[in-house]
Chains A and B, each alone.
Chain A
């Protein structure tokens, strides 16, 4: 069986989240991905929680491991001229060079697109940055959920009477790799036909706007500024998370038509509600949704969330447990899809990685654990750059390979 990306050579300067998640796709499907790293500027994710046994260490982070499975780690201290030379040699070898530094850093190292393509004219270079190249905010750094603030996701998450909450985590960092890997694969396809490489300048902000497009279009066409609504839906009711038995347990229930509403009333043992003028037709239900939520909440509160979901779904009512991370690991559907893959990492031992969210019938991925920092340094220098052992030893001694 041929791997989907067999033979593809990737020199990967990406760090933190969006970049490494992009290049993990490449390594899962068979590309050789060389991750350039340094102990002098450790990838933030290597120092991020969770660490195995709660003990920090640059080879102990599950966060880092998850996005770097299958890659080969080359330690290079890029502040040294000789390290930059080696990196430029590797850039000649690569089909794809990837990076997500603040714009300008690769150029400073002589590794900008214009530098690389002089010796490797067909190279596909991928650069992701928070706000894209050019423009006043091109180099403005930021921490945490900055992009959701700029994209309006934050404004659209929370309760109308309170400060917005932001979606969990660096949210859009994990949506965008789907777009970026597609763009890289498209560029490779184009290169195969035309011989031309290209530089993909990806603005994470611009990509993020794809996931908030309908409200943006509502403003563009109608001048209406939508705001956060808790769990309310503009049309459907009921549409909420309802309390269930246990501590902080919830089940989401939504009715999108009269059939689903009637089925729910049947389940609740209150068929008369289906024709109650407060709750039918749909716009009445929407008007009276506070009362409706109270009635449904009283019914759900003593019930087990999972049993409630199954009963609702079997009756044709859309329902889903508000799953915790623990629940995800026990979720029967995710288990059926083999979503969590347990791999043996050299320092962490056996731990979980996310599988891909799609299956390919003819070219399945191969999942491999993440590398230790610098684990493949010698391999890269020997096998790819063909350096003699003595030189590799010298480079180690001079601190360049760190």
Chain B
């Protein structure tokens, strides 16, 4: 859908997802790496745990649908080439700490001189200005300062982050939204503009109704472990089963009632039904209206039943019997989930390994079915294609830049 557009991607690992998504939508994303390889290539996990820059699996995901050229943008000798790349681009995305692009002479004002209609996107933890703008933020720090950590975890232990980084990924995804809205403005007016993204705000918008509960009712929501409050009671959402966990909730209401009746019938069929489950008229209980006594009585038979079954068996039966139960997938389960397989979500891709015989793996996406997919590039894989074939540099010029270690 975005085939006519070029994205000049100067991000490091923190902003890498932004270009990936634009690439999924069909844009020509040119990733500019220093000659020794992008910082994102140092982020694990690594193929066979070998931290060679061509082995980063973080890179393999985030740089898919991008082309790679090498260019040392910290070097003055890179300027003529960089200027030409900026001229030919419609978007520039970067995720340096605030102020760094000023020191490189590459801030929006400078880039606008070269290409007035460019859309310039900066992704930072807290935005370009403000009291915390210079504060350091790892994923843990970001998730703390944006309110998500306080709400997540067990009640008797410290608040926790999600065990795989979210903060920058969420900010980078929102940068795509900002870039595309700015692009629509450019379609109407011909004008470029500056998009200043705050990851903290992006996560602070992801807290469901918790901030609004503070605003309206002056109540701080708390972390709840594997339970969720529905009405006045806490209901378990994650239950242990024979080989892992399943997600199941009975919040009451029409849909919930039918689901619970179906589950109770299944237990009866298996000879392990329970009078409390069988004799309760689940259809009569409103959403969030279960009594604490009922919850206490229904829990042990459900626990016993789930513990006697595997998550895949429970999930299959849930689908067939219309029960609101889902497997708690681990990463392995995701790759064999029938729904994702039926929609051909995974794409076969060569592992971006430096070894001679690359292996084939399942790669992720694109996130819309009509999107394109190509594996992540090797360092400078498209130097020739872009510098020579598209920009018309001679072999001599390319060699000279290589000797100067610019590309």
Contacts and interface: CB of A to CB of B under 8 A. Distances in A.
A285 interface: no
A158 interface: yes
A318 B137 contact: yes
Contacts of A134: 342-343
B187 A192 contact: yes
A323 B146 contact: yes
A182 B177 contact: yes
A174 B159 contact: no
A357 B238 contact: no
Scoring B141, B182, B359 by chain A CB atoms within 10 A of each residue's CB, the highest score goes to B141
A150 B326 contact: yes
B370 to A, nearest CB: 7
A25 B177 contact: yes
Given A49-B213, A357-B198, A193 B367 contact: no
B158 A321 contact: no
Interface residues of B, number: 152
Interface string B154-175: 1001111111111001110111
A50 B221 CA distance: 11
Scoring B127, B135, B180, B364 by chain A CB atoms within 10 A of each residue's CB, the highest score goes to B180
B211 A155 contact: no
A323 B47 contact: no
B53 interface: no
Contact of B62 (A182, A213, A359): A213
A168 B152 CA distance: 5
B197 interface: yes
A19 interface: no
A155 B245 contact: yes
Contact of B193 (A48, A189, A201, A360): A360
Interface stretch (B72-80, B94-102, B327-335, B384-392): B327-335
B208 A144 contact: no
A132 B193 contact: no
Contacts of B2: 186, 189-190
A329 B214 contact: yes
Contacts of A120: none
B332 A318 contact: no
B193 to A, nearest CB: 4
Interface residues of A, number: 154
Given A4-B185, A165-B226, A182-B180, A152 B163 contact: no
B204 A339 contact: yes
B25 interface: yes
Interface string A64-100: 0110000000000000000000000000000000000
Contact of A210 (B151, B157, B237, B367): B367
Interface stretch (B30-38, B249-257, B262-270, B292-300): B249-257
A236 B201 CA distance: 25
Contacts of A203: 343, 345
Interface in A164-210: 164-171, 173-175, 177-179, 181-183, 185-190, 192-193, 198, 200-203, 205-207, 209-210
Interface string B201-216: 1101111111111111
A222 B44 CA distance: 12
A239 B157 contact: no
A167 B148 CA distance: 8
A211 to B, nearest CB: 5
B407 interface: no
B302 interface: no
Interface stretch (A105-113, A224-232, A272-280, A380-388): A224-232
Given A163-B238, A240-B158, A357-B197, A313 B135 contact: yes
A178 B176 CA distance: 7
B221 A137 contact: no
Interface in B140-155: 140-154
A235 B165 CA distance: 13
Contact of B210 (A151, A169, A211, A319): A169
A7 B185 CA distance: 11
Given A137-B339, A328-B204, A227 B163 contact: yes
A142 B251 CA distance: 11
B213 A211 contact: no
Contact of B255 (A5, A141, A248, A359): A141
A170 to B, nearest CB: 6
Interface stretch (A32-40, A347-355, A371-379, A394-402): A347-355
B21 interface: yes
A169 B207 contact: yes
Contacts of B213: 49-50, 62, 325
Contacts of A146: 247, 326
B117 to A, nearest CB: 11
Contacts of A149: 238, 246-247, 326-329
A320 B334 contact: no
Contact of A241 (B160, B166, B332): B160
A320 B141 contact: yes
Contacts of B152: 157, 165, 167-168
B319 A137 contact: yes
A210 B169 contact: yes
Contacts of B57: 214, 217-218, 220-222
A214 B169 CA distance: 11
Contacts of B335: 216, 219-220
A51 B209 CA distance: 11
Interface in B16-72: 17, 21-22, 25-26, 43-45, 47-49, 57-58, 60-62
21 contacts: A4-B181, A50-B209, A50-B213, A50-B217, A63-B212, A149-B328, A164-B245, A165-B152, A165-B238, A183-B1, A190-B2, A210-B364, A210-B365, A216-B364, A217-B57, A217-B363, A230-B163, A332-B130, A358-B201, A360-B193, A363-B185
Given A211-B169, A241-B144, A318-B140, 7 more contacts: A168-B221, A169-B210, A174-B206, A178-B202, A323-B144, A334-B204, A354-B201
